Amino acid sequence: MGRRLSSVAVVVLLGLVLAGSAAGPAWAAGRCGDHPWCDTSLSADRRAALLVEALTPAERIGLLAGDVPAISGAAGTHTGTESGVPRLGVPPLYLTDGPIGVRQGQATAFPASIALAASFDRGLAAEHGRAIAEEARAKGNDVVYAPTVNILRTPLWGRAFESFGEDPYLTARTGVAWIRAAQRAGVMANVKHFAANNQEGEQGPGDELIGSRYTVDARVDERTLREIYLPHFEAAVKEGRVASVMCAYNKLNGPHACENRTLLTRILRQDWGFKGFVLADYGASKHVGTGLRAGLDFEPFPYVDFDGGENLRPEIVSAAIAAGRASQADVDRAVTHLLRELFAFGFFDRAAYPDDESQIDRPAHLRTAEEIAEAGTVLLRNRSRTLPLAAGRLRSLAVIGADADRNINGGGSSNINPYSFTSPRAAITTRAGSGVDVRFDDGTDLARAADAARGADAAVVVVADAATEGVDKPCLGLDCGAQRGVQRDRLIERVAAANRRTIVVLETAGPVLTPWRQRVGAILEAWYPGSAAGEAIARVLFGDVDPGGRLPATFPRRERDLPTAGDRRRYPGVNEVVRYSEGVLVGYRWFDERGIRPAYPFGHGLSYTRFALRNLGVRRARGGVGATVSVTVVNRGSRAGTAVPQVYVGLPGARGRVQPPRQLKGYQSLDLRRGQARRVTFRLDRRAFSYWDTRRHRWEVAPGCYRIQVGQSSRDIDARGALALRGASCG
């Protein structure tokens, strides 16, 4: 007989139960007060319903939109403000940009999103999200408009630096880690821009844009949408539990994203179970009733109008209701979505976040920024061990290029005013030490720059591109876009001709053309490294740390090799319609399927040591579709370094269903000492073997032989295996 509870214990237990129910509501320690909706023992749904009921119709309408018509990014201001309802103790809601740092006065400029993706490191993605959320919170914000997860469909995209690159899996893993960490830090994340916001538009002959993000209609077939442009949003919702989603400016298959019922209700809420709220990009709401009924819940900035849209300002909403174009029920549904998430996230049950940046541990955040910048730096080329530089053996070093003296970042809503910044020139000079003659030339005079390089033990040329939200690059060369004086390609050529040990440090938003790559000793891609740019670049150059990055996007040999090149219907679009007719063949999928050799492939990146991947093991999952892939990574070189083994799966194609040769389905970044070996295991779930079936409108696993490839890039495959599924054989 089990041990019986003593009669005393039963009385005590009963007393506890009764006491709990008799105490009435469980008031939170926060700012909610003693209203019925402040009872934390109630569900978020119930609390939202009680509050909506207590609000007047006009107050509910007022909660649909932000109400401060200014976004300057100045200290003490917020990108978005919703003033709440003081009568009922509904607190103000503060929102801020963005994916690379907090655009509010000064802040830590973290490495750009593409640099973070290049680290292939989920732990660092969490660090990036946590640190930015901490700064957003210390400046009084409840929501941060990040991460940007749009796929880099064309490297011409003006916001390439804000993306996590061309692969949905890498983007999803990076985004989920970022969101979870940011929300654990107490700030609601806002995954953006939902969906298929993959271009800003090409600068036309006048000041108009061709294929502008505000007006372009992205025509994406169902399978491509589900397999390429949605998985990272799906992961943000299902795994990241993201609190909010920002709907994009563009149209998707007809309707604008912010009034696209398929996107905002059928896919987001019905298919994925999203419980948070949908907010509009700035000025992206189009028609009050259509938008609210499609699933738009909130417009933080209803003060811009790019093409005759109806904002959600109270007077416009009231007029729409009076004219029968919207209803109070539409309003109440949207406000309920917003309030429910605010209750669920604890927004009502805590004190307001004071705007007090003394709470920010700036030195710690600067170290985090530096660590991520180093881990995201990609060593593209290293002929005859040009790198690392040995300060003790250097007598002279030339540092060339005005960009070596500048803080490089992209323009627009992700442009951060850094608390501090160390330039590559300053940090390289410091790291070289007093025994090395470091001579600098800004590269504006090619002959003079070549003279400065000639005779030095090595020459470091630092060059940046120019990218900004609002307009795409006109071409992929280093000097495309906002002209900034020197011709950087020619500068590199002249310096390389003068010094055989020329090292090019790229600080770019994404892939660029590298016509001089065979004529230089080494190439580092540092992207937009942020506040600690100098320290990170110097430490990698001198080998204090291994370049940990791998390419999150393909570097083409020629611009015409890009999947979107040569067909204006694909990019930038014709008559404001852009056709994603390349389908699932985005990025390396295109290069691999078409057999095009890139300059540097997706996943590529060298180390100062060398690795081997051995003993591939592929084990089918028991009871269902899946597999465990294991491989031993060995450091065969003479120093410690960072390895990034990558797992690719080649799904079987079928008539009418093209499949790229391989797709990234697993990766890990690991540091190994000289001679160290480590067994790494990757778990591939059912989704890793699935395609989107457009007849059944769901994920399916086709019968066939699945090729498992493990390598150090998408083109450098060390080991191959196969897995037969659904009764097929691998022959």
Q: How far is the CB of 79 from ligand GLC (least distance, A)?
A: 5
Nearest partner of 489 among 475, 501, 471, judged by Cα: 475
Among 82, 97, 127, 142, binds ligand GLC (CB under 6 A): 97
Nearest partner of 118 among 154, 87, 152, judged by Cα: 152
Strands, E assignment, 289-337: none
23-32: long-range contacts (C-beta < 8 A, 24 or more apart)?
28/348, 28/349, 28/350, 29/349, 29/350, 30/346, 30/348, 30/349, 30/350, 30/351, 31/89, 31/91, 31/348, 31/350, 31/351, 31/352, 32/89, 32/348, 32/349
CB count, 10 Å around CB of 356?
A: 10
* Selected catalytic residue, list 281, 403, 442, 472: 281
Three-state DSSP at 301 gives coil
- Give the span between the Cα atoms of 144 and 94, in whole angstroms: 9
Helices 314-322, 328-344: axis angle to 10 degrees equals 140
435 Cβ neighbours under 8 A, 6+ residues apart: 391, 394, 395
Q: Evaluate whether 222 touches 231 at the Cβ level (below 8 Å).
A: no
Phi, psi of 189, deg, nearest 5 = -85, 165
Q: How far is the CB of 255 from ligand GLC (least distance, A)?
A: 18
Q: Kindly identify the residues of this chain, within the stretch 376-405, that bind ligand GLC according to CB under 6 A.
A: none
- Give the span between the Cα atoms of 375 and 371, in whole angstroms: 6
Q: How far is the CB of 604 from ligand GLC (least distance, A)?
A: 29
- Give the span between the Cα atoms of 384 and 393, in whole angstroms: 16
Q: How far is the CB of 139 from ligand GLC (least distance, A)?
A: 15
Q: Kindly identify the residues of this chain, within the stretch 104-163, that bind ligand GLC according to CB under 6 A.
A: 145
Q: Kindly identify the residues of this chain, within the stretch 437-476, that bind ligand GLC according to CB under 6 A.
A: none
Three-state DSSP at 578 gives strand
* 163 or 714: CB nearest ligand GLC: 163
Q: How far is the CB of 85 from ligand GLC (least distance, A)?
A: 24
Three-state DSSP at 406 gives coil
Among 62, 66, 91, 98, binds ligand GLC (CB under 6 A): 98
| Residue tagged 């960490």 (tokens) | 181
DSSP string, 385-405: G--S--GGG-SEEEEE-GGGG
The size of the interface with ligand GLC (CB under 6 A), counted in residues, is: 9
Q: Kindly identify the residues of this chain, within the stretch 263-282, that bind ligand GLC according to CB under 6 A.
A: 281-282
Q: How far is the CB of 337 from ligand GLC (least distance, A)?
A: 19
Q: How far is the CB of 576 from ligand GLC (least distance, A)?
A: 18
Q: How far is the CB of 129 from ligand GLC (least distance, A)?
A: 16
Q: Evaluate whether 295 touches 258 at the Cβ level (below 8 Å).
A: no
Q: Is 645 in the site for ligand GLC (CB under 6 A)?
A: no
The structure tokens listed for 107 are 């802040």
572-573-575 Cα angle (round to 5):
135
Which string of x and - marks every residue 323-362 that binds ligand GLC (by CB under 6 A)? ----------------------------------------
Q: How far is the CB of 159 from ligand GLC (least distance, A)?
A: 8
Return the bridge partners of 396, or none.
Answer: 437
Which string of x and - marks every residue 509-548 that binds ligand GLC (by CB under 6 A)? ----------------------------------------
* 163 or 669: CB nearest ligand GLC: 163
* 66 or 168: CB nearest ligand GLC: 66
- Our measurement of the distance from residue 60's CA atom to the centroid of its chain's CA atoms, rounded to an integer in Å, reads 33
- Give the span between the Cα atoms of 397 and 257, in whole angstroms: 52
* 247 or 321: CB nearest ligand GLC: 247
Q: Kindly identify the residues of this chain, within the stretch 55-84, that bind ligand GLC according to CB under 6 A.
A: 71, 79
Q: Which helix (H) or strand (E) holds 622?
A: none
Q: Is 413 in the site for ligand GLC (CB under 6 A)?
A: yes
Three-state DSSP at 258 gives helix
- Give the span between the Cα atoms of 518 and 495, in whole angstroms: 13
Annotated catalytic, 281?
yes
Q: Report how far apart the first and last C-alpha atoms of the chain are (Å, whole number).
A: 60
Q: Which helix (H) or strand (E) holds 259?
A: none
Nearest partner of 247 among 297, 315, 183, 311, judged by Cα: 297
* 200 or 403: CB nearest ligand GLC: 200
Q: How far is the CB of 152 from ligand GLC (least distance, A)?
A: 15
CB count, 10 Å around CB of 377?
A: 29
**CB-nearest residue to ligand GLC:** 413
Q: Which helix (H) or strand (E) holds 234?
A: helix 231-238
Q: Which helix (H) or strand (E) holds 691?
A: strand 691-693
* 112 or 506: CB nearest ligand GLC: 112
* 163 or 203: CB nearest ligand GLC: 163
410 Cβ neighbours under 8 A, 6+ residues apart: 112, 158, 159, 160, 161, 162, 467, 468, 469, 509, 528
Cα radius of gyration rounded to whole Å, the chain: 27
Among 128, 139, 192, 219, binds ligand GLC (CB under 6 A): 192
* 30 or 105: CB nearest ligand GLC: 105
The pairing of beta strand 143-145 with beta strand 188-194: parallel
Q: How far is the CB of 81 from ligand GLC (least distance, A)?
A: 12
* 98 or 129: CB nearest ligand GLC: 98
- Give the span between the Cα atoms of 458 and 339, in whole angstroms: 60
* 71 or 523: CB nearest ligand GLC: 71
Q: How far is the CB of 415 from ligand GLC (least distance, A)?
A: 10
* 281 or 582: CB nearest ligand GLC: 281
Q: Is 200 in the site for ligand GLC (CB under 6 A)?
A: no
* 306 or 699: CB nearest ligand GLC: 306
The catalytic site residues sit at: 281
Interface residue list for ligand GLC (CB under 6 A):
71, 79, 97-98, 145, 192, 281-282, 413
